Structure 1
């Protein structure tokens, strides 16, 4: 007997030195897990499932064929789920007693005769060797399967690689489905859509067309999955199916744990590196820091941006498996949770590669909140200054009330100058002293806003306000008196624009036909 599969009654009967012969035509493909000779009462207590019980019938030597003890014995042995009865003839009985044959047949227990010249110890030793060889084979097969499937972990896409190896071992197809039945990864030509439809039934084994299917439910992290193998060779799934699914499930769990651990370590290191950059980097450490950035995919000397946003980090394009099409290249960035104590909501800062994937990431982040980005730079020593730029751009994005993306290099100088004073109590005090009277005069403020929004064109301003041009001129003279300076002076225009930039630019965005004293709140009302 060779360790090439489970030890069965058929293999024992085929071994010529054991002297075993079946009575009748029993099922000989029954697995055998041990052999034990026993002649005591209540024998079933001492036998484990799959045991070949060896006996000479000594305890029931005087029992008649219709003695109920034969029936009781067979029932007890069936309850113990033994493999078969090996009856030694020529010692107590010349042949297997009729009562035992009848009772065993009723319980479906195979009966084998043992040649009088064969000692029971020879059978026990043979079974022990066969079981050990079988267990050794199963162990070697399990190790082989694990080695083959574990090799997928070193792939750039472990899930895809694992499915390919799993499908090859099953001589068919393999797939991983999420709880909803969506295909996460798959390989082979099996009808996966039809297989997915069957998953809701919960069956571990089923058939779809000519494909035999085996399923194993998995829980990886917080999510549930279905791991499936399908083959047109049922023998392969019968032999390897459970081992393949069990081993592959463990490999997937290991891969998930490795990814989580690696991601945690990367986040921790990224936060430390970004903190060092924001604290200020001396020129002597620039080259060393670029080498550290290499581990996160950055290329020395490439263009970068500092970013600040107030929403959870969006998924990075390309960082998740896409079952159809080529995944997009992921954005390269270092992230640090960095809430701003002066503003509500969560916040974070990042160093981002200024390339196409980075641009996609910015747009994705802007879809969920306000995002501010500095101008592009390549000098790592200016990261603190660029972080301040990102904060300024972030404040501008939040001022809109709608969120969105603001790149500071695309913002006008006046907008930038106003943003740098945002929230400064000194700026508020200066505004009150210089423009408080104008801000509290709605008609005059609306006239100034319209005048500057129309590029100092009195006629266009009058049409905007639906007033006579002379009324506009009268009001502008009153503004000059209030401010103590000429309305056409460059310094006055600059001061008024910076003070009321939001109102002026807001009016520019409104078509003239729709602007009316009654259809749009006044600048003073909006400021209040």
Structure 2
């Protein structure tokens, strides 16, 4: 048979199959509904009203008949199922499963009523496959478009909600609860803030890798993903539900920092809040603890607010900090070597030899400096109470330095988040 005769035969057969599909559309739609509802009851597909499924099937079968007869195939996708699946938060596969099921029903009908040769049947099935591929592609595009819009909206609402909690002033609990429910988050559970900072300043690629490691930990802790996040490159703040089974949040973060991320990440945690509206203080605590962690170069570990609670209080009360410095170590401020010696002496548990080794000086030098400190401050360097008093003054000194850095826009983490 000549190629032109073969082409004409295939075209005639496609027209015949198109007429057959049009006449059998009701029966095929009923068969599709029967199989679709049966699959739905087994739990693998989202349940849909049989009447609606029937109408969708009839329209798709009509589009297939038009395509086989060259009458303008697949002009419009019937029902926009993909967009609805995205809005319902269902997996993307459910946007096209119904089409693939209908394709099998139609293909089985074509094969069951085939009277032509193999080449004609193969051509018809190939054309049907192309038509259903087009329909599936449009459903997936509908899903993707709606999903992206929804994800963007959710990100904006979540960011705005977390920003409101970070800001400080009391927030209306009903407003917070309403926004949380819009995001499918239960606001009546305990939340805890964690913050992470990458140093040195990361490239976009470095931050993507670090952020992915952090989010893997957070999602492992909270598979339901009821997490609120605000971030800038190199800085992330997350408000995480904590009443979850398995290892605690701090434990999981500590394990992560034992690996490669610990060389570049500072991580902190605030105290839990009883509910989402009450969790703003946890955000502020996490950021304050993170600032202290950065100042002390405590990378590779989780600094909890309770670990640095005194420093946090001093950092937020400048008058108290200044008075502590003036009345305890005011005479040492202009003598950095004495301040360093005092700091190391305290960190070495008042052990003279260890202090000398840490400072890389002779023990007699340390002893001489300690006598100078005692003279200038009026404190006994062997008494625990006096040493404790001086240690608090050193914390106040660090708090003032941190405050100065913050005012010079070097460590104001809250300002960076809101930039």
TM superposition score category, shorter chain reference: 0.5 to 0.7
1:304 correspondence with 2:191: yes
1:144 CA displacement: 10
Deviations 1:87-120 (A, max 9, x none): xxxxxxxxxxxxxxxxxxxxxxxxxxxxxxxxxx
Residues 270 and 305, structure 2, Cα contact 8 Å, conserved in 1? yes
Query: Cα distance 1:472–1:348, how it changes in 2: closer, same or farther (>3 A)?
Result: closer
Deviations 1:24-61 (A, max 9, x none): x94442647xxxxxxxxxxxxxxxxxxxxxxxxxxxxx
Classify the secondary structure of the residue corresponding to 2:161: helix
Residues 189 and 276, structure 2, Cα contact 8 Å, conserved in 1? no
Tell me what 2:412 maps to: none
Alignment of 1:343-382 (within 5 A): 349-355=237-243, 359=249, 370-380=266-276, 382=278
Classify the secondary structure of the residue corresponding to 1:299: coil
Name whichever structure is richer in strand by fraction.
1
Tell me what 1:385 maps to: 281
Residues 190 and 276, structure 2, Cα contact 8 Å, conserved in 1? no
1:443 CA displacement: 5.9
Which structure 1 segments of 5+ residues have no match?
1-21, 33-132, 173-232, 321-325, 340-344, 505-528
Tell me what 2:117 maps to: none
Tell me what 2:149 maps to: 261
Deviations 1:326-372 (A, max 9, x none): 998253223456x8xxxxx7756543322559939967897775444
1:255 CA displacement: 1.0
Deviations 1:448-501 (A, max 9, x none): 344322322345546666777666444422221122222234453124323446
Tell me what 2:94 maps to: 161
1:259 CA displacement: 0.9
Query: Cα distance 1:264–1:237, how it changes in 2: closer, same or farther (>3 A)?
Result: same
Compare 484-493 and 303-312 and name the one that shifted more: 303-312
Alignment of 1:19-168 (within 5 A): 26-27=5-6, 28-29=8-9, 31=11, 134=66, 142=74, 150=82, 153=86, 156-162=89-95, 164-165=97-98, 168=101
Tell me what 1:438 maps to: 332
Tell me what 1:273 maps to: 161
Classify the secondary structure of the residue corresponding to 2:9: coil
Query: Cα distance 1:359–1:29, how it changes in 2: closer, same or farther (>3 A)?
Result: farther
Count of aligned residue pairs for this structure pair:
307
Partners of 1:142 and 1:468 in 2: CA distance: 88
Which structure 2 segments of 5+ residues have no match?
13-64, 106-120, 199-206, 399-419
Alignment TM-score, normalising by the size of structure 1 = 0.44
Tell me what 2:376 maps to: 482
Tell me what 2:138 maps to: 250
Query: Cα distance 1:261–1:319, how it changes in 2: closer, same or farther (>3 A)?
Result: farther
Partners of 2:218 and 2:74 in 1: CA distance: 32
1:381 CA displacement: 5.4
Classify the secondary structure of the residue corresponding to 2:349: coil
1:392 CA displacement: 0.5
Partners of 2:193 and 2:291 in 1: CA distance: 14
Alignment TM-score, normalising by the size of structure 2 = 0.54
1:264 CA displacement: 1.9
